[in-house]
Amino acid sequence: MSSVLVVSDQMLMAETIRAALATQGWDARVARWPEREGGLVPVPPGTSLGVLVSDLEPTARLERAQRILAAWPGHWLVLTGAPRGPRWGAALDADALGVLSADIGLEELAAVLQRALAGVRPMDPAEINRLRHAWRAVLAEQRELAERMRRLTRRELTILGLLYSGGNVAAIAAQLGVSEATVRSQVRAVLRKLAVNSQLAAVAAYASLVEERRPPGGGGGTTQNPGNAHAVQRP
């Protein structure tokens, strides 16, 4: 009997999949999702396949999933509710054998697992390459944006963070004890350094870094402090 390890950030989902696979004759077990940063999943000896179930977001959870996938040299399949796109590519880049939609039927999943035992991917190679390239393009864009953010002075980054928090020029000027003209000048400097044409675009760029780095569950972290000049200085 082949042994399957099911890992999920949603324990109810993991137990449901385990029970369903057991009815199909699989020796299915469940492992807890590592809660601490850098934690890995202990894979029992004799495990034939791994099934990782996650929505792969926010980025902190995606990165944890990637570490799980990369740490065990066996075959992993990923079931996700994330739309087909770059996050699927992120899992494939971490050596997942394949990524499937979480709404896959039980019989189809069992058939995919059976083929996966022989190392057969459930995805077309061209699609795998497309998704990997999409993920790498996202990483390149994030690195470029992070580099632009590093060009901002501490005060410019503070103002951008306050705009992100919903402040307007008048409110920011009052909060910082400077004139509105000074704030407008610094906003123009932010737009120039980020190579965008509007405050809305600048705030969207800031949000793409801050919100993507937010830990699962909305816990605290330096990236959530809009005025922290070091908060967005990592891709």
User: Does a cis peptide bond (omega within 30 degrees of 0) precede residue 58?
Assistant: yes
In the chain, % of residues over pLDDT 70 = 89
Q: Are residues 127 and 24 in the same domain?
A: yes
**Contact status, residue 194 vs residue 148, Cβ threshold 8 Å:** yes
Task: Name the domain boundary from 63, 98, 133.
Answer: 133
Q: Are residues 108 and 160 in the same domain?
A: no
10 by Cβ neighbours in 10 Å (0-12 / 13-18 / 19+) ranks as middle
**Domain count of the fold of the chain:** 2
Q: Are residues 157 and 200 in the same domain?
A: yes
**Contact status, residue 226 vs residue 213, Cβ threshold 8 Å:** no
Whole-number mean pLDDT of the chain?
87
Of the pLDDT bands very low, low, confident and very high (cuts 50, 70, 90), residue 1 is low
Q: Are residues 70 and 155 in the same domain?
A: no
* CATH number where 209 lies: 1.10.10.10
Residue 120 is predicted with a pLDDT of 92
What are the tens digits of pLDDT across the range 82-115?
999 999 999 999 999 999 999 998 889 989 999 9
Per-residue pLDDT for 230 more than 70?
Answer: no
Contacts of 36 (CB under 8 A, 6+ apart): none
**Contact status, residue 65 vs residue 57, Cβ threshold 8 Å:** no
Percentage helix, strand, coil, to 5, in the chain? 50, 10, 35
| pLDDT average, residue stretch 16-25 | 90
Strands 49-53, 3-8: pairing kind: parallel
Residue 212 is predicted with a pLDDT of 60
Q: Are residues 156 and 128 in the same domain?
A: no
What are the tens digits of pLDDT across the range 52-84?
999 998 888 899 999 999 999 889 999 999 999
Amino acid at 96: A
| pLDDT average, residue stretch 156-166 | 95
Q: Are residues 186 and 129 in the same domain?
A: no
Element (H or E) spanning 184, and its range?
helix 180-194
Residue 78 is predicted with a pLDDT of 97
Q: Are residues 181 and 108 in the same domain?
A: no
**Contact status, residue 102 vs residue 81, Cβ threshold 8 Å:** yes
Domain ranges, residue 173: 151-224
Residue 213 is predicted with a pLDDT of 55
pTM of this structure: 0.77
**Tokens, residue 97:** 């054998």
Q: Are residues 110 and 196 in the same domain?
A: no
Distance CA(16)–CA(138), nearest Å, equals 33
Contacts of 110 (CB under 8 A, 6+ apart): 21, 24, 26
Is 29 a domain residue? yes
Element (H or E) spanning 4, and its range?
strand 3-8
Distance CA(9)–CA(146), nearest Å, equals 29
Amino acid at 114: Q
